[in-house]
Structure 1
């Protein structure tokens, strides 16, 4: 995500400037969606990439992410195959979803990140609440790691994913746990 200098005051970030590398072994992309309006189905995407570029201030900082839609895992192989089909995600036509930040604001542990989410040919704005977990040194190798939890929601219908209204909820809750390694 890249901050929009017109909407965000220049703020010094609590992170070292540079390209932070994703630690995929300590990161996760999850979601939940209502089923029949009475319960939730939860799942994850197993294949994803994310980038964090920290500038001298928010205006020079950016977050990007790409998630492979075919890597969905809800714990049920038959359901996952159906979700990948043309009825729902249609991974043949829409292999991935991407996010690119447009604005960052906040301080301390609580931040807001707004950006553009693209699924297939449809791009919509999304806002994520971001909790900054801090920066610590990894005792194993001395590298410094920063942790973030981001949560938000999207509507399936906004992206043309309208299969089974009433059976599946329109709102999809997103939960991202990301750990990055300092440059």
Structure 2
């Protein structure tokens, strides 16, 4: 057992073990990309599904998500239509982006989640910084909130159209809520 795993094993999780259902009404997948190197374009993906499995120890946590790329929304219908087209996201051949965690680790307020992000036929490793927002009751059910942030390079996924017009780095911010398993 590595020292890092020993730290994870000692962590007492404030979450009940089991499958935590995703709350899409209180979750968001947002991004920021540079335009012409001088301004930022912000957007989000409106169609997201996610799963959270919590085990007895931190190393047993598993997260997966699927994002419909056609659900992109930057607040400009013309820009969104172009982004969906073959020269950018090409949602006809790449309809989804998926994420699967491979490792969750941390101590105190400093957590990270390593995983694999797949866009089309390309899968690359991604590490996200994770902040646990806490627990709260809503409509008779306990909710857990998380924020995860990180960045990817478009070129790593073969999405290199518009070099010079669009930045290569895409910053990601995920605000996710999950509900405690029933009967816990």
Shorter-chain TM-score bucket reads over 0.9
Aligned to 2:121: 121
Return the match for 1:180 from 153, 156, 178: 178
* Equivalenced residues, count: 177
Q: CA deviation at 1:107?
A: 2.7
SS at match of 2:145: strand
- Within the alignment, does 1:153 sit opposite 2:154 as a pair? no
Extract unaligned runs of 5+ from structure 2: none
Aligned to 1:14: 14
Aligned to 1:61: 61
SS at match of 1:22: coil
Q: CA deviation at 1:59?
A: 2.6
Aligned-partner Cα distance in 1 for 2:127–2:59: 17
Aligned to 2:132: 132
Q: CA deviation at 1:131?
A: 0.6
Kept after mapping to 2: 8 A contact 1:98/1:118 = yes
- Give the TM-score normalised by structure 1: 0.93
Aligned to 2:82: 82
Kept after mapping to 2: 8 A contact 1:146/1:182 = yes
Aligned-partner Cα distance in 2 for 1:145–1:167: 41
Kept after mapping to 2: 8 A contact 1:110/1:132 = no
Q: How does 1:42-53 map to 2 (within 5 A)?
A: 42-53=42-53
Kept after mapping to 2: 8 A contact 1:129/1:151 = yes
Kept after mapping to 1: 8 A contact 2:72/2:80 = yes
Superposed structure 1 runs of 4+ greater than 4 Å apart? none
Higher helix share: 2
Q: CA deviation at 1:87?
A: 0.6
